[in-house]
């Protein structure tokens, strides 16, 4: 008898939960590929961290969907004529989640913390041109610079302002329970399970339309897509198996958003390698990459063939060039010129575990093999791969990407300047390029001279081939038709920073 009663209760419970799950508060669930390590952008510079923390905290400026700088916590800013001062006029009437008003002191605190070497901020080098921050009044600050830096403002747009009182109080725990001015407030976080954020009803840009925002990490690409299709998550960006894209785009119940992103993937050539320091061999490799074929077939059409480090959306992008053609015959000639008409040497090609990189590595190894060059492909786990290109010279070629190339300086200086780039992954050293890049940094970003300088850099790189550029990345996101107000953002970290405009209308 008791057993039967238990069964009935269980059945009732089932029914109650089934019906109960229908009516709940509006919760927007975003799936992600990776869990964040912490939510403090000052110490965790990764994309997984930034895409979350940017819904909680804000920077002085941000990028809109056309990758133009737009006001955020600052309503306006101006550069002085000598380029040594930037004045920010701060938005008034903005309050942090703990109730205090946002003031100039918060800006000063954030940047001084960042610049203090004791704090080990990994991105400190991006801000070292800031000499001093002067508070004019509660809503006006002046950044005094050591030297003109036309691109500093882009980095400022990447750094969220923390409230000085809470940041001091929480110390290194700030990243586990962040406080900001953003549209959503931190609520709870169980790692590898979910980050729960509550709507900030007092948000200066208008209260969010949903009550709650959740980030759910789902590491497996197929599982994430299935969870999305089953409606368990509302949207997610990147990490979609290329094979699925056509099907998804033809499905009327799924919205696929695509937009070119500021980055590219490339094959890097270690110039310390006796073979790869010959530009003809590098050119040969570049001519063996069927960029169109790779984009259309390996990547499911997402991306576009690349030929320069400065992405097409930036004004300094050189549009008078075109990708090195796929031409095995020309590659053979180039190898012959370099003294290897029948190949006869071997190279190593390293890549981390992303599926498309393994595929590109296999393609390249096959193509080079056809010319008698023996390529040993080594797919390594990310930590080992990163360690290799950071701390050793034990590699000939590797496949990697650069993301977030928000300005021509970020897209070239670290990569191709012989001592400006701190990690010489490829040990490239070209006096002319060094000179051009140095000058590019100090001339105004919107000047004619800036265009000229970077044009020449791109032409040199095109001939010299320190990298063989493969494709410009394209951001891709999927959402359900009942989600409104969402448009895929070209800069992944900024994807959800306007989540207060998203709504769930079912």
Partner 1 sequence: MKRILRNKQAVAGLVIIFIVSLTAIIAPYIVPNDPYTQNIYNRYEAPQGFGGEYILGTDNLGRCVLSRIIMGTRASLYVGVVAVSISLVIGVILGLLAGYVGGKIDELIMRFMDLILAFPAILLAIFIVAVLGPSLFNAMLAIAIVRIPQLARVTRSQVLALKEEDFVLAARSLGASHVRILVKHILINSFAPLLVIISLGMGLAIVTEAALSFLGLGTQPPTISWGRMLATARAALRTAPHVATYAGIAIVFTTLGFNLLGDGLRDVFDPRLK
Partner 2 sequence: MQKFIIRRFLNIIPTILGVSLVVFFMIHLAPGDPVTLMVGEDASLADIERIQAQYGFDQPLHIQYMRWFGNAIQGDFGMSIRQNRTVAGLILERAGATIELAFMAMFIAILISVPLGVLSAIRRGSWIDLLAMTAALISISMPRFWVGLMLLIYIGLNFDFFPLFGREASLFVGIFSLNWQDVVLGFRHLILPALALGTAATALQTRLMRSSMLEVLQQDYVRTAKAKGLSDRVVIFKHALRNAMLPVVTIVGLQFGYLLGGAVVVETVFSWPGMARLIINAVSQRDFPIVQAGTLLVAITFALINLLVDISYGFLNPKIRYD
Q: Annotate each residue in 291-320 with x if it binds partner 1 (CB under 8 A) or - if it does not, as one string.
A: --xx--xx----------------------
What does 358 bind: partner 2, partner 1, none (CB cut-off 5 to 8 Å by kind)?
partner 1
Complete DSSP assignment for 145-206:
ESS--TTHHHHHTT-BPPPHHHHHHHGGGGGGS---SSSEEEEEEETTTEEEEEE-TT-TT-
Considering only 297, 342, 382, 484, the residue that binds partner 2 (CB under 8 A) is 382
Instruction: Tell me the closest approach of the beta carbon of residue 174 to partner 2, in angstroms.
Output: 9
Q: Is residue 227 part of the contact set for partner 1 (CB under 8 A)?
A: no
Q: For residues 483 and 495, what is the distance between their CA atoms, to the nearest angstrom?
A: 14
- Given the complex with partner 1, which of 167 and 248 has the nearer CB atom? 248
Contact 468, 27 (CB under 8 A): no
Considering only 27, 64, 80, 125, the residue that binds partner 2 (CB under 8 A) is 125
**Residue given tokens 């800036």 in the structure block:** 450
Q: For residues 281 and 274, what is the distance between their CA atoms, to the nearest angstrom?
A: 10
Binding part of the chain for partner 1, among 126-134, 143-151, 183-191, 373-381 by CB under 8 A, reads 373-381
| Tokens encoding 242 | 């290329």
Reference 26, options 498, 482, 487; nearest CA is 482
- Given the complex with partner 2, which of 248 and 281 has the nearer CB atom? 248
Considering only 346, 384, 439, 481, the residue that binds partner 2 (CB under 8 A) is 384
- Given the complex with partner 2, which of 80 and 125 has the nearer CB atom? 125
Phi, psi at 447, each rounded to 5°: -85, 160
Considering only 330, 378, 403, 480, the residue that binds partner 1 (CB under 8 A) is 378
Q: Is residue 361 part of the contact set for partner 1 (CB under 8 A)?
A: yes
Name 248's bridge partners: none
Phi, psi at 457, each rounded to 5°: -55, -45
Instruction: Tell me the closest approach of the beta carbon of residue 288 to partner 2, in angstroms.
Output: 27
Considering only 244, 464, 487, 503, the residue that binds partner 1 (CB under 8 A) is 244
Q: Is residue 222 part of the contact set for partner 1 (CB under 8 A)?
A: yes
Phi, psi at 297, each rounded to 5°: -105, -45
- Given the complex with partner 1, which of 277 and 354 has the nearer CB atom? 354
Q: Is residue 140 part of the contact set for partner 1 (CB under 8 A)?
A: no
Q: For residues 30 and 194, what is the distance between their CA atoms, to the nearest angstrom?
A: 10
Q: Could you say which DSSP state residue 288 is in?
A: T
Q: For residues 469 and 64, what is the distance between their CA atoms, to the nearest angstrom?
A: 26
What does 176 bind: partner 1, partner 2, none (CB cut-off 5 to 8 Å by kind)?
partner 2
Those residues whose C-beta lies under 8 Å from the C-beta of residue 389, and which sit 6 or more positions away, are 268, 350, 395, 398, 400, 423, 425
Binding site for partner 2 (CB under 8 A): 9-10, 13-14, 16-17, 20, 35, 37-38, 44-46, 117, 120, 122-126, 172-173, 175-176, 190-194, 216-220, 222-224, 226-227, 229-230, 232, 381-384, 386-388, 390-391, 414, 422-423
């Amino acid at each position: 008898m008791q057993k039967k009663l238990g069964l009935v209760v269980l059945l009732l419970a089932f029914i109650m939960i089934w019906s109960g799950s229908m009516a709940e508060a509006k919760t927007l669930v975003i799936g992600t590929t990776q869990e964040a390590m912490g939510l403090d952008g000052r110490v965790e510079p990764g994309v997984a961290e930034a895409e979350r923390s940017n819904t909680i905290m804000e920077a002085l400026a941000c990028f809109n969907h056309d990758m133009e700088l737009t006001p955020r916590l600052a309503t306006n800013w101006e550069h002085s004529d000598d380029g040594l001062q930037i004045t920010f006029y701060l938005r008034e009437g903005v309050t942090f989640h703990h109730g205090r008003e946002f003031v100039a002191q918060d800006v000063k605190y954030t940047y001084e913390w960042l610049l203090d070497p004791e704090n080990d901020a990994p991105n400190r080098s991006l801000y070292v041109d800031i000499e001093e921050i002067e508070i004019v009044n509660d809503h006006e600050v002046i950044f005094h610079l050591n030297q003109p830096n036309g691109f500093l403002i882009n980095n400022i747009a990447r750094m969220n302002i923390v409230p000085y009182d809470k940041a001091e109080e929480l110390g290194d725990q700030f990243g586990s329970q962040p406080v900001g001015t953003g549209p959503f407030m931190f609520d709870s976080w169980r790692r590898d399970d979910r980050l729960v954020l509550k709507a900030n009803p007092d948000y200066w840009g208008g209260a969010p339309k949903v009550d709650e925002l959740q980030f759910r990490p789902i590491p497996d690409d197929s599982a994430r897509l299935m969870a999305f299709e089953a409606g368990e998550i509302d949207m997610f960006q990147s990490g979609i198996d290329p094979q699925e894209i056509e099907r998804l785009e033809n499905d009327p119940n799924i919205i696929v958003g695509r937009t070119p992103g500021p980055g590219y993937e490339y094959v890097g050539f270690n110039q310390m390698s006796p073979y790869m320091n010959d530009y003809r061999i590098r050119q040969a490799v570049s001519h063996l990459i069927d960029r169109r074929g790779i984009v259309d077939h390996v990547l499911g059409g997402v991306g576009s063939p690349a030929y320069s480090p400065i992405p097409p959306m930036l004004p300094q992008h050189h549009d008078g060039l075109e990708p090195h053609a796929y031409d095995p015959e020309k590659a053979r000639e180039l190898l012959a010129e370099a003294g290897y008409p029948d190949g006869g040497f071997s190279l190593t090609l390293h890549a981390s575990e992303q599926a498309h990189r393994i595929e590109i590595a296999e393609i390249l190894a096959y193509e080079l093999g056809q010319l008698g060059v023996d390529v040993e492909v080594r797919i390594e786990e990310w930590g080992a791969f990163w360690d290799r290109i950071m701390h050793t010279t034990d590699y000939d070629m590797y496949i990697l990407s650069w993301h977030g190339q928000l300005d021509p300086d970020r897209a070239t200086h670290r990569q191709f300047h012989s001592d400006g780039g701190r990690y010489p992954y490829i040990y490239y050293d070209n006096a002319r390029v060094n000179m051009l890049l140095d000058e590019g940094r100090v001339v105004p970003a919107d000047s004619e001279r800036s265009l000229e300088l970077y044009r020449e850099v791109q032409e040199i790189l095109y001939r010299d081939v320190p990298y063989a550029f493969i494709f410009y990345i394209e951001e891709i996101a999927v959402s359900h038709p009942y989600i409104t107000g969402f448009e895929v953002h070209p800069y992944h970290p900024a994807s959800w920073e306007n989540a207060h405009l998203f709504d769930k209308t079912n």
